[in-house]
């Protein structure tokens, strides 16, 4: 993976004007793409956003949705449930082997914020865990597997 980028840890979402409204809402969308040098099977995914966030989606090179992560907002005053603040993000745990990222595939992250008012210090991060191979994956068609099968056949013939 190339570590050269022009990303910022935090950025600012300007308040939208009536000229910039999409339909009946003000949505600030930020997108970035990054190639995955080594692919594998997705095990877990979740976004990280700050107040004003309305969700993030990670797309595959072919446009398929790999994971969408939606915030949960608090509605109280106690720690962990503060009104108006994101207190959690939905996660993705796909069925084992169902989401594959191929070597060299370019993934695109889209982070959306409500821009009816200005937000400072927002983020659009995404955590993605990928396994190069599935647990308990058998090598039925590998050279090694065939070699052991041949040895077993030789031993059985004697």
Q: Does 22 score more than 80 pLDDT?
A: no
Work out the average pLDDT over 87-96: 95
pLDDT (tens digit per residue) in 27-80: 888 899 999 999 999 999 999 999 889 999 999 999 999 999 999 999 999 999
Q: Would the pTM of this model clear 0.75, i.e. be above it?
A: no
- Which CATH architecture does the domain made up of 11-135 adopt? Sandwich (2.60)
Q: What is the DSSP letter of 25?
A: B
- Closest of 31, 44, 55 to residue 93, by C-alpha: 44
pLDDT (tens digit per residue) in 99-145: 999 999 999 999 998 888 777 778 788 999 999 888 776 554 443 43
Three-state DSSP class for residue 98 = coil
Domain ranges of the chain: 11-135
């Amino acid at each position: 993976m190339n570590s050269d980028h022009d990303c910022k840890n935090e950025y600012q979402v300007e308040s939208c004007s009536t000229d910039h409204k999409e339909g009946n809402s003000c949505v600030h969308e930020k997108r970035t793409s990054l190639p995955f040098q080594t692919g594998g099977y997705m095990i877990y995914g979740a976004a990280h956003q700050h107040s004003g966030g309305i969700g993030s989606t990670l797309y595959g090179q072919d446009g398929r949705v790999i994971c969408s992560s939606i915030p949960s907002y608090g509605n109280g005053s106690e720690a962990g449930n503060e009104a108006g603040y994101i207190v959690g993000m939905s996660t993705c745990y796909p069925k084992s082997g169902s989401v594959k990222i191929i070597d060299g595939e370019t993934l695109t992250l889209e982070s959306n914020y409500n821009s009816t008012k200005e937000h400072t210090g927002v983020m659009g991060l995404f955590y993605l865990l990928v396994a190069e191979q599935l647990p308990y994956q058998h090598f039925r068609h590998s050279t090694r597997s065939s070699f052991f099968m041949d040895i077993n056949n030789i031993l059985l013939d004697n």
